[in-house]
Amino acid sequence: MPFRALGLGDLILKAIDDAGYTEPTPIQAAAIPEVLAGHDLIGIAQTGTGKTAAFTLPILAKLSGVVGDGTPRRPRVLILAPTRELVAQIDENIRAYAKYLPLRMALVYGGVSERPQIQAMRDGVDIVVACPGRLLDLIQQRHCDFSKLTHLVLDEADRMLDMGFIPQIRRVLKALPAKRQTLMFSATLSKEIEELTHEFQRSPKIVQIGRRANPAATVTQLVYEVQQHLKPALLAHLLGSSELNMVLVFTRTKHGADRVARKLEQTGVKTATLHSNRSQAQRLRALADFKSGAVRVLVATDIAARGIDVDGISHVVNFDFPMHSEDYVHRIGRTGRAQAIGDAISFITPDDRGPLHTLERFIGRGIVRKRAEGFDYHAPAPPRDEQPRDPRGPRPARGGFRSGGPPRQREERGRPRYR
């Protein structure tokens, strides 16, 4: 189906054409007519499915059909999202789709000065894209007049729920007109999300696009069994291959991310970090450098990486195995986007075996185990006199026996490979 068949208006079609989209994604084909018809909507779709355009395009079409009444501009659309990165990304998308429309936008998020955000509100805007916390601050200081609001979007509602934003969102909603169109997007439809739809929406239509719970369709996945203290050395070793040219590395903690980045920099690999201890400017810079190729590796935590939309990521490395299977799916969904083939590599220590089995049940398939010689946790430590002289070099592999079991066939010999 061509975009033209959806009735979006010529100026929007021109912008879509400029963006190089040839036809709507499934979530767009399903959601756009419902939104244009004025229904509330629940969209069950993950980042990477084209969901931002699915809610933005029809809202822009509706806004562009409304002629101003001569009074100063007041926000007509509010989009709430859980992280600053996602806010910035939604903004980037809307600016592309609305490039031929005379609409003004404001971004509202914490960690930076309020003043320009307050000024933008005063100057008059049509669309506000915001994180709930800072927006609530501005509402409480009476800097926002949402009396003309017609559209509300809650993006990544499941993550906002997980992050504890719901009480703030409830208070934001008190400042909005009751008569409005409300669209809610979530990666999963849980009981809690259903309860929120009853609270925030009226007879919503549901659009559900096959969950990418099986990212295996485009992403090659494997795990390396590795000793905890050898993870940095294994990562540096894998990065010896030029195939890993744009690598997103996930760690469990912010300090862990900093540590990994420091170690990689020491081996000459250009690396940036993305986590919530970094300032907004540093985070945007890290993303920009990663996108442009100025840094080869971006080390991130789950929350900061939420919604990262970067084309061409060659590999995702789970330096620390994620605690929740959903996070694994989100992480590896960063690669293999737009049908590119990407690799997801996970490091697991003996402690991660339980979560790995849980994950395999969750995604409904087993994941290939690899052993990188010299790093793997089955190998006993070599006798002292056989330690390598170069302290940075990997230890020579020994054994390959599981305790009490027969010798295991090595899957790898010589230099570790990752495919």
Cβ atoms within 10 Å of 355's Cβ, excluding its own? 18
Q: Which is nearer to ligand AMP, 47 or 301 (CB)?
A: 47
Q: What residues from 307 to 326 belong to the interface with ligand AMP (CB under 6 A)?
A: 309
Number of residues that bind ligand AMP (CB under 6 A): 12
Closest residue by Cα to residue 146 from 172, 169, 168, 167:
172
d(CA 203, CA 353): 44
CB of 307 to ligand AMP, least distance (A): 7
Site for ligand AMP contains 49 (CB under 6 A): yes
Pick the piece of the chain touching ligand AMP (CB under 6 A) from 43-51, 64-72, 146-154, 403-411: 43-51
Looking at 6, 44, 50, 64, which residue binds ligand AMP (CB under 6 A)? Answer: 50
Buried b (16+ CB within 10 A) or exposed e, 273-295: bbbeebeeeebebbbebbbeeeb
- How many Å from the N-terminal Cα to the C-terminal Cα in the chain? 38
Site for ligand AMP contains 182 (CB under 6 A): no
CB of 258 to ligand AMP, least distance (A): 27
Site for ligand AMP contains 215 (CB under 6 A): no
Is 126 within 8 Å of 77 (Cβ atoms)?
Answer: yes
**Left (φ > 0), alpha (ψ -120 to 50) or beta: where does 400 sit?**
left
CB of 189 to ligand AMP, least distance (A): 17
Looking at 13, 25, 107, 313, which residue binds ligand AMP (CB under 6 A)? Answer: 25
Site for ligand AMP contains 47 (CB under 6 A): yes
Q: Which is nearer to ligand AMP, 108 or 187 (CB)?
A: 187
d(CA 106, CA 120): 6
Is 31 within 8 Å of 41 (Cβ atoms)?
Answer: yes
DSSP string, 265-315: HHTT--EEEESTTS-HHHHHHHHHHHHHTSSSEEEE-HHHHTT---TT--E
Q: Which is nearer to ligand AMP, 51 or 62 (CB)?
A: 51
The two three-digit tokens of residue 278, written as one number: 């970094």
Is 303 within 8 Å of 276 (Cβ atoms)?
Answer: yes
CB of 207 to ligand AMP, least distance (A): 13
Site for ligand AMP contains 53 (CB under 6 A): yes
d(CA 140, CA 142): 5
CB of 89 to ligand AMP, least distance (A): 7
Closest residue by Cα to residue 186 from 151, 162, 169:
162
Pick the piece of the chain touching ligand AMP (CB under 6 A) from 50-58, 269-277, 292-300, 397-405: 50-58
CB of 11 to ligand AMP, least distance (A): 17
Pick the piece of the chain touching ligand AMP (CB under 6 A) from 44-52, 196-204, 345-353, 411-419: 44-52
Site for ligand AMP contains 51 (CB under 6 A): yes
3-state helix, strand, coil in the chain (%, to 5): 40, 15, 45
Q: Which is nearer to ligand AMP, 63 or 310 (CB)?
A: 310
Q: Which is nearer to ligand AMP, 53 or 261 (CB)?
A: 53
Q: What residues from 91 to 120 belong to the interface with ligand AMP (CB under 6 A)?
A: none
Q: Which is nearer to ligand AMP, 86 or 345 (CB)?
A: 86
Site for ligand AMP contains 335 (CB under 6 A): no
Site for ligand AMP contains 56 (CB under 6 A): no
Looking at 29, 35, 40, 48, which residue binds ligand AMP (CB under 6 A)? Answer: 48
CB of 96 to ligand AMP, least distance (A): 8
Pick the piece of the chain touching ligand AMP (CB under 6 A) from 20-28, 115-123, 137-145, 402-410: 20-28
Closest residue by Cα to residue 397 from 418, 375, 417, 367:
375
Q: Which is nearer to ligand AMP, 32 or 372 (CB)?
A: 32
Beta strands in 122-175, from DSSP E residues, in sequence order:
127-130, 151-154
Site for ligand AMP contains 209 (CB under 6 A): no
Is 233 within 8 Å of 266 (Cβ atoms)?
Answer: no
Label residue 321 exposed, middle or buried (CB < 10 Å: 0-12, 13-18, 19+): buried
For the chain, the farthest-separated pair of C-alpha atoms sits apart, in whole angstroms, at 85
The two three-digit tokens of residue 195, written as one number: 């309860």
Q: Which is nearer to ligand AMP, 43 or 355 (CB)?
A: 43
CB of 187 to ligand AMP, least distance (A): 11
State the residues that interact with ligand AMP by CB under 6 A.
21, 24-25, 28, 47-53, 309
